[in-house]
Amino acid sequence: MGFQVDPSIYRVRMFKERGYVRQKCKYCGVYFWALRPRNDCNDAPCTDYTFFDIKLRVGPLSVKETKDRFIEFFRRRGHEVIEPHPVVARWREDLYLTIASIVVFQPHVTSGIVQPPANPLVIAQPCIRLEDIDSVGYTFGRHLTNFIMGGHHAFNYPDKFVYFTHETVELAREFFVDDLGVPEAEITFKESWWEGGGNAGPCFEVAVGGLEVATLVFMMYDVKDGRYVEMPIKIVDTGYGIERISWLTQKSPTAFHAIYGDLVDRYFKMLDLRVPPKEFFEVAVKYIGRLNPKNRDDLIKLLDHIVSASDYSEEEVARYLNDTINVFTLLDHVKTASLMLADGVVPSNAGEGYLARLVLRRIFRILVLLKSEDVLDELFLQQVDYWKALYPQLAKRKDYIVDVISHEARKYREVISRAPSLVRKYIKRGGEGLSLDELIELYDSHGIPPEIASEVASKYGVKVDVPSDFYSRIARRHSSAPIKRTVKEKVPSNVSELVRKLRPTKLLFHEDPYIREFSATIVMIHGPYVVLDQTAFYPEGGGQAADTGYLILPSGEAIRVLDTQKVGSVVIHKLAKELPQNLIGRAVTGRIDWERRYKLMRHHTATHIILGSARQILGDHVWQAGAEKTEERARLDITHYKPLSKEEIRKIEELANKVIVEGRKVKSMYLPKYVAEHKYGFRLYQGGVPLEPVIRVVEIEGLDAEACFGTHVSNTMEVGAIKIVGVDRIADGVVRLEYVAGTQVFEYARSLESKLAEASSILGGDVVQRAKAIVGELKSMTSLLTNYRKLILSSLTKQALAEAEYVAEGIKAGVICLSISDKNIVRELLIKLSSLASELVALAVMPASSGSLVELSLGSKAAGILDAREVLNNLLSKYGGKGGGKKDHASGFVRKDASKFCSEVRNDLLVILRNKLCKL
């Protein structure tokens, strides 16, 4: 941290009133506050876990009971309870996963754009963090990829103070000491600093018996380009570890036992592993806190401690540790993957889909190592059943979860089958080993885990060092979304800066999307760019093309409007020519190209209809991944984990047209952000997240509701009809639907009629009948061609063997000259010759565009003495050609007529072979 914290922020009144003393940890050097003198900060790894010996007032609490108790504690103290958000941060464009409770309120509340839903408030937010994924299991529960963060938050404005440092620390003491019964002498408050989501501030880390149980953050700064800028809003951002608090109350052998209960033993048994004795865990956990093992290298120290402190043999301890880490990792990862899939994530190679696949493939890898792939579905189903009361969405999406993991497991097996050949290419390309960048590229581009790459490389004598935190590094690289290109880049920067000083443009196209002509006053002219006080011209955005049309000047001259863009809340019109400055303040008439606009409106509403229909047919996991609406056609990219079947496409189109025929109302309305989210959920944010306190929502009755800026028809019947004209899988996990609507359906039909007529003319009759006849003829010709190939192959084989000349050392050579270019025949011929004559060096030459293709094949005996690549390159170098391949087979090209080359090359081949064999 490059920021000096004012130490007075940590001197809260409770410490003085109750006699807490500021001390410095002997091990980490950090300052902390405690009632009694101590030489450590009370947090692992500076101390062992001692909380097992601390008596509490409350009995054992499950995760759900802990969550409920936390919520009720703060509710009784004036905090309004806020329902948790999904683990996928749909309301954020910069972040994929909900990594903390404050993420729910960033950036709209923390930046002051939107008021919080309550103040103060409390929330128990399920979170997913993958930055420490490699350490899961090793610390017996200190590291998890999924957890519930109990957060109580207060937002202090310049004109409204709620509470800050003093009250926050007092509430923490009251919860742990008065409510749970932790002896006050066992609690410490460690001074620290926190950053995340673009904000930062000082904090206290609260620890009990070696276990950090809460973090109390006082958010005071925005982080901008590495600088800390003080925020006008001061925010209390706390994170209570619900699972850790549950562990604290239960005092179970590990956090996994506290969280997963009897699922721990069930997983051991399903995986056909022996359940370690309770005593093993009790001994191990004594050393886990201070040792803090994060990888298999660290386990050696832990193993030594357990062996020396118990009657277990080194072999027993090694087996128990290995099995335990695998089981704990599976428990954690299966739950994390289930939560992501239940919130509609589609595994892919980008975004949250990439992160879901990362977790899933770690699961598959462990199951392969344990030879337990057959229990994959059951591992997930057991967790769905175990967690359904706390996470109802798991049961609701159970079928989707099972279908996706089966699909992903098949893809993983395909990836692994391709691994050897891909890794070999990287080894040859990179020389001796594989660098970290190459391991990352193999994983990112081809899905090959580094452990598999290392195994393959070792077979070729290449040692690969895989970092123990490889997946954590990958997760960090992919945790944030790339910055999206904004539309303002289409406007010169100097114009963008000028318009920021202007008042917002009144948007007439929202008041009445059917308006075709309007009056307005010019407020700015800069070159060809014009700003009006109000406009009916729609600016490009949300995938909808910009309006065009005319501005009618006071003189009556009509100037073409070429483009319309929006910067902030100001609409900019680009004209075909510059206007004089004296027109500023004058009234003009705007006339939009209505026929074009109406086609765009139809296509935009059609896009909402297609999306709503796709969600109903395919499932709630369908989200918009991109869209474009033009006057000719529209496209919608949706998330889906496999290609669409013809039946699914038919059903989507059928439902879409049913919605059109039913004449459902298309309503546009403005709703407060929280009201809209409560009513429609986060499916609102299909095309982006508006950072506004009030959201414009477009709703198609009973089908779809989205936050949308675009123009729409008022009734689905106006769309006329929808025809899906193309479906393509444009990326892993993304399917593109292309379609036409309204009059464009008839244009599409006319185009098809024209093509059919042309095809009929070419084929000479009914297209279907002639096509059937042609297919039949093609099959007959293919069969005939196959028979001819067999005859030619037999003839060439006999000829080549008969004409082969003895060279030396028992090796023969033959040259086959073909007058036609047929790679299939050449391939089959060389394979057959190699199998029939192990001593044969066979060279095949066939014509190619602007030269000759050359193939050289060695029988097994010849390949034991010679190298095909070396022989071929020596041969072709004389003619300016070159080749490559394997030791027993090489191919090349030479810019020389095939018949001439074939007559000359025979003697050259014999000379080269004799020279090489004589040297041997």
pLDDT tens-digit profile of 267-314? 999 999 999 998 898 888 888 877 777 777 777 778 888 888 888 888
Q: How many other C-beta atoms lie within 10 A of the C-beta of residue 791?
A: 9
SS3 696: strand
Q: Are 327 and 272 in contact (CB under 8 A)?
A: no
Strands laid side by side in the 704-707 sheet: 666-672, 694-700, 704-707
Q: Are 910 and 804 in contact (CB under 8 A)?
A: no
850: its two tokens: 């602007």
Query: Considering only CA atoms, which of 146, 621, 665, 687 is closest in space to residue 391?
Result: 146
How large is the average pLDDT for residues 757-782? 76
Distances (CA, A) of 424 to 217, 416, 499: 50, 13, 57
Q: Which residue has the tokens 């590229």?
A: 441
> 261 pLDDT band (50/70/90 cuts)?
very high
Q: How far apart are CA 292 and CA 140, in angstroms?
A: 9
SS3 194: strand
Q: How many other C-beta atoms lie within 10 A of the C-beta of residue 18?
A: 13
Q: Tell how strand 199-208 and strand 187-196 pair up.
A: antiparallel
How large is the average pLDDT for residues 123-143? 93
Q: How far apart are CA 348 and CA 354, in angstroms?
A: 5
Q: Are 719 and 605 in contact (CB under 8 A)?
A: yes
CA 307 to chain centre: 43
How large is the average pLDDT for residues 590-597? 96
CA 391 to chain centre: 23
How large is the average pLDDT for residues 524-542? 95
Mean pLDDT (the chain) is 90
Q: Which residue would you say has higher pLDDT here, 483 or 904?
A: 904
> Hey, CA dihedral for 892, 895, 899, 900, is it positive or negative?
negative
275: its two tokens: 């359940």
pLDDT at residue 488, as a whole number: 44
CA 127 to chain centre: 16
Q: How far apart are CA 381 and CA 883, in angstroms?
A: 55
Q: Which residue has the tokens 């034991």?
A: 864
Spatial neighbors of 349 by CB under 8 A, at least 6 apart, are 357, 444, 731, 732, 733
Q: Tell how strand 840-848 and strand 811-817 pair up.
A: parallel
Q: How far apart are CA 373 and CA 314, in angstroms?
A: 29
Query: What is the DSSP secondary structure assignment for residue 482, as one 8-state letter?
Result: P
> 431 pLDDT band (50/70/90 cuts)?
low
Query: Considering only CA atoms, which of 547, 550, 560, 555 is closest in space to residue 586?
Result: 555
Q: What is the pTM of this model?
A: 0.82
> 712 pLDDT band (50/70/90 cuts)?
very high
Cα dihedral 362/364/370/374 (nearest 10): 160
Over residues 180-189, the pLDDT tens digits come to 999 999 999 9
How large is the average pLDDT for residues 599-606? 94
Distances (CA, A) of 116 to 108, 238, 442: 9, 16, 44
Q: Indicate whether 674 pLDDT > 80.
A: yes
Q: Are 31 and 157 in contact (CB under 8 A)?
A: no
> 613 pLDDT band (50/70/90 cuts)?
very high
Query: Considering only CA atoms, which of 847, 855, 844 is closest in space to residue 895?
Result: 847
> 763 pLDDT band (50/70/90 cuts)?
confident
Q: Are 666 and 699 in contact (CB under 8 A)?
A: yes
Q: Which of 168-182, 237-251, 783-797 has the lowest mean pLDDT?
A: 783-797
Q: Which residue would you say has higher pLDDT here, 155 or 285?
A: 155
Strands (E), 209-254: 211-224, 227-241
Query: Considering only CA atoms, which of 800, 817, 874, 813 is closest in space to residue 839?
Result: 813
Q: Which residue has the tokens 């565009």?
A: 849
Q: Indicate whether 191 pLDDT > 60.
A: yes
pLDDT at residue 432, as a whole number: 63
Query: Considering only CA atoms, which of 318, 263, 312 is closest in space to residue 296?
Result: 318
Q: Are 117 and 83 in contact (CB under 8 A)?
A: no
Contacts 24+ apart (CB under 8 A), 494-500: 494/526, 495/526, 495/527, 495/529, 495/567, 495/572, 496/567, 498/524, 498/526, 499/524, 499/531, 499/567, 499/568, 499/570, 499/572, 500/567, 500/568, 500/570
Q: Indicate whether 704 pLDDT > 50.
A: yes
Q: How far apart are CA 366 and CA 680, in angstroms?
A: 39
Q: How far apart are CA 190 and CA 32, in angstroms?
A: 4
570: its two tokens: 């100001």
Over residues 411-421, the pLDDT tens digits come to 999 988 888 88
Q: Which of 77-81, 403-407, 753-757 has the lowest mean pLDDT?
A: 753-757
Question: Is the peptide bond prior to 7 cis by the omega test (within 30 degrees of 0)?
Answer: no
Q: Indicate whether 486 pLDDT > 60.
A: no
820: its two tokens: 């036609």
How large is the average pLDDT for residues 791-797? 84
pLDDT at residue 487, as a whole number: 43
Beta bridge partners of 544: 541, 629
Question: 501 burial class (0-12, 13-18, 19+ CB within 10 angstroms)?
Answer: exposed
Over residues 355-383, the pLDDT tens digits come to 999 999 999 999 999 999 999 999 999 99
Q: How many other C-beta atoms lie within 10 A of the C-beta of residue 343?
A: 26
SS3 212: strand
858: its two tokens: 């060695």
491: its two tokens: 């406007």
Q: Indicate whether 390 pLDDT > 80.
A: yes
Name the packing angle between helices 898-919 and 868-877 (round to 10°): 130
> 429 pLDDT band (50/70/90 cuts)?
low
Percent of the chain with pLDDT over 70: 98
